[in-house]
Amino acid sequence: MESLTNRKVVVSDKPMTFMEKLYLPGILKGMLVTFRHILMRRKTIKYPEETREFAPIYRGMHVLKRDEQGRENCTACGLCAVACPAEAITMTSEERTNADKHLYREEKYASMYEINMLRCIFCGLCEEACPKEAIFLTDRLVPTQFERGEFIYGKDKLVEPVDHRIDITKRQFTGKRTTL
């Protein structure tokens, strides 16, 4: 019967010719390929010492941004959680007191904000849904851990430190929203 894919190869056991029996031409041909690769540019890098460049829109570990005055942008509106297809985000909100005005930008803030990095599929929909430009995915990787519980990232790991800001200016959704 005619093959459907035409991918099968018929095995033949015809006897080797004189040239093939010599072996040497075959070995030389193979070595030529090997030596050609010595002259080529290397395709690998020495990983821990050297790292590859990330794309500006690489979707890695999340960051919760602060504004110029160091106040948290997140207002716990819940749009990231409702947009999340993996249901990785949970939060509880609280009303800001007058004493906390320098900590949170809006009247309401997230008292607890957790992302389960084991559930997260790094799709970036939370970043797209955020109306306050608070959550961004960054080019940082989520480090490996031994315990599952350590992958639940709270605000201590997500909110950027005031003195060590995370650059997100190259992200697709930076500066797209009016902040009122």
Partner 1 sequence: MPNVLMMVKVTIDGIEVEVEAGTSILNAARKIGGDAVPPAMCYYSKLPGTGGKCRTCLVEVAAGSTADPRPMPKLVASCSTPVQDGMVVNNKTSERVHNNRGGVVEFLLANHPLDCPICDQAGECHLQDLGYEHGSAKTRYEEERRTFDPIDIGNKIKLHMNRCILCYRCVFVANQLTENRVHGVLHRGEHAEISTFIEQAVENDFSGNMIDVCPVGALTDRTFRFKSRVWFLKPMDAERSCSKCCGKAVVWMFGNEIYRVTARKDKYGEVEDIDGKTAWLCNDCRFEHKSAADWNIAGPRVISRNSVISQGKYATSIEKPVKRIG
Reduced to 3 states (helix: H, G, I; strand: E, B; else coil), residue 137 is strand
Express the helix, strand and coil content of the chain in percent, nearest 5 each.
Answer: 25, 15, 60
20 binds partner 1 (CB under 8 A): no
- The smaller minimum CB distance to partner 1, of residues 20 and 87, is found at 87
Residue of 67, 81, 155, 157 that binds partner 1 (CB under 8 A): 81
Amino acid in position 15: P
Using rule CB under 8 A, residue 115 touches partner 1: no
Q: To the nearest whole angstrom, how small is the minimum distance from the Cβ of residue 49 to partner 1?
A: 44
Contact flag: residue 94 with partner 1 (CB under 8 A) = yes
Shortest Å, Cβ 64 to partner 1:
14
Residue with tokens 């459907």: 4
- Which residue, 159, 114, 116, 113, is CA-closest to 136? 159
Least spacing, CB of residue 155 vs partner 1, in Å: 17
Q: Give yes or no for a contact between 102 and 71, defined as CB atoms under 8 angstroms apart.
A: yes
Distance of alpha carbon 75 from alpha carbon 24, whole angstroms: 74
Q: Kind and range of the H or E element at 30?
A: helix 24-39
Q: Please, what is the minimum distance in Å from the beta carbon of residue 99 to partner 1?
A: 17
Q: Which stretch binds partner 1 (CB under 8 A): 23-31, 34-42, 91-99, 159-167?
A: 91-99
Candidates 12-20, 64-72, 101-109, 114-122; binding stretch for partner 1 (CB under 8 A): 101-109
171 binds partner 1 (CB under 8 A): no
Q: Which of residues 122-141 bind partner 1 (CB under 8 A)?
A: 131-132
DSSP secondary structure string, 147-180? SGGGGEE-HHHHBPPTTSPPP-TTSTTTT-S---
Residues that bind partner 1 (CB under 8 A): 75-79, 81-82, 87, 92-95, 106-108, 131-132, 178, 180
